[in-house]
């Protein structure tokens, strides 16, 4: 979050107000009358709640940004590819779409459905664990490209958030029409070789298709 964002100003403003009240209480040591307790309600409750609430909103938004994913150095090869305007990989081409933009990692890799946001965040916590304690933080970028792989097969349902498989133009393609049921059932991957190929071919030993 930049301090120039409105929520950043609110978060910092609430924190400064709370800190001013708390420091006043600690330094001046006023009597514990009703006025002091109301001030402490503001300093211990209301203003910290404002900081926490705005912090949660901005924190949640920050975790969806590609720059957040790339802040762990082992993810840099993937985020650099998305940043590259000349890259022909599936991931980069999606990143150039305004529908994905700076949030292309999250948009493609998030779980969808009723509890999707929660399971996605739990998965993100596992990434942090693997990076800080699991040894991935010690890898070089080259080692990371060889070692990091997707945990489970990429579900077609994530592609189908946008590509519904019902549009006439999509169904008019013989390759699509031939396997539409298998695609919807996840028996055939959109990113299989011969179809669209892996989204990050440099880490799969393949080439963009």
User: Which residues in this chain contact other proteins in the complex, by CB under 8 A?
Assistant: 1, 3, 8, 11-12, 15, 18-19, 22-23, 25-26, 29, 32, 37, 40-41, 43-45, 48, 51-52, 54-56, 58-59, 62-63, 68, 71-72, 125, 128, 131-132
Q: How far is the CB of 98 from other proteins (least distance, A)?
A: 22
Residue burial 152-171, b: 16+ Cβ < 10 Å; e: rest: eebebebbbeeeeeeeeeee
Closer Cβ to other proteins, 14 or 90, answer by number = 14
Cβ atoms of residues 66 and 48 within 8 Å: no
Shortest distance in whole angstroms from residue 25 CB to other proteins: 5
Q: In a 10 Å sphere around its CB, with 0-12 CB exposed, 13-18 middle and 19+ buried, how is residue 135 labelled?
A: exposed
Nearer to other proteins, 41 or 115 (CB): 41
> Residue written as tokens 């402490």?
40
Q: Which is nearer to other proteins, 8 or 101 (CB)?
A: 8
At closest approach, how far in Å is the CB of 140 from other proteins? 19
The Cβ-side half-sphere exposure at 28, using a 13 Å CA radius, reads: 10
Q: Could you count the other beta carbons within 10 Å of the beta carbon of residue 116?
A: 12
Pair of tokens at residue 54: 């705005």
Please say which residue, 3 or 172, places its beta carbon nearer to other proteins.
Answer: 3
Q: Which of these, 75, 71, 73, 93, lies nearest to 84 by C-alpha position? A: 93
Q: Which two tokens stand for residue 153?
A: 């097969």
- Closest approach of Cβ 150 to other proteins, in Å? 19
In the complex, the smallest distance separating the C-beta of residue 29 from other proteins, rounded to whole angstroms, is: 8
In this complex, which beta carbon is closest to other proteins, that of residue 63 or of residue 189? 63
């Amino acid at each position: 979050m930049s301090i120039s964002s409105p929520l950043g100003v609110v978060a910092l403003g609430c924190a400064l107000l709370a800190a001013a009240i708390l420091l006043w209480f600690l330094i001046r040591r006023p009597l514990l009358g009703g006025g002091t307790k109301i001030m402490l309600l503001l300093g211990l409750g209301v203003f910290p709640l404002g900081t926490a609430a705005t912090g949660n909103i901005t924190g949640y938004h920050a975790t969806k940004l590609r720059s957040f994913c790339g802040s762990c150095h082992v993810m840099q090869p993937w985020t650099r590819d998305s940043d590259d305007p000349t890259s022909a990989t599936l991931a980069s081409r999606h990143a150039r779409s305004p529908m994905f933009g700076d949030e292309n990692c999250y948009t493609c890799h998030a779980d969808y459905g009723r509890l999707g946001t929660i399971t996605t965040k739990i998965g993100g916590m596992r990434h942090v664990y693997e990076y800080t304690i699991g040894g991935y933080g010690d890898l070089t970028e080259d080692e990371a490209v060889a070692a990091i792989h997707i945990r489970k097969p990429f579900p077609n349902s994530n592609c189908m958030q946008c590509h519904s498989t019902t549009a006439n133009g999509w169904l008019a393609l013989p390759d699509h029409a031939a396997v539409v049921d298998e695609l919807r059932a996840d028996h055939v991957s959109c990113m299989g070789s011969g179809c669209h190929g892996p989204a990050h071919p440099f880490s799969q030993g393949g080439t963009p298709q």
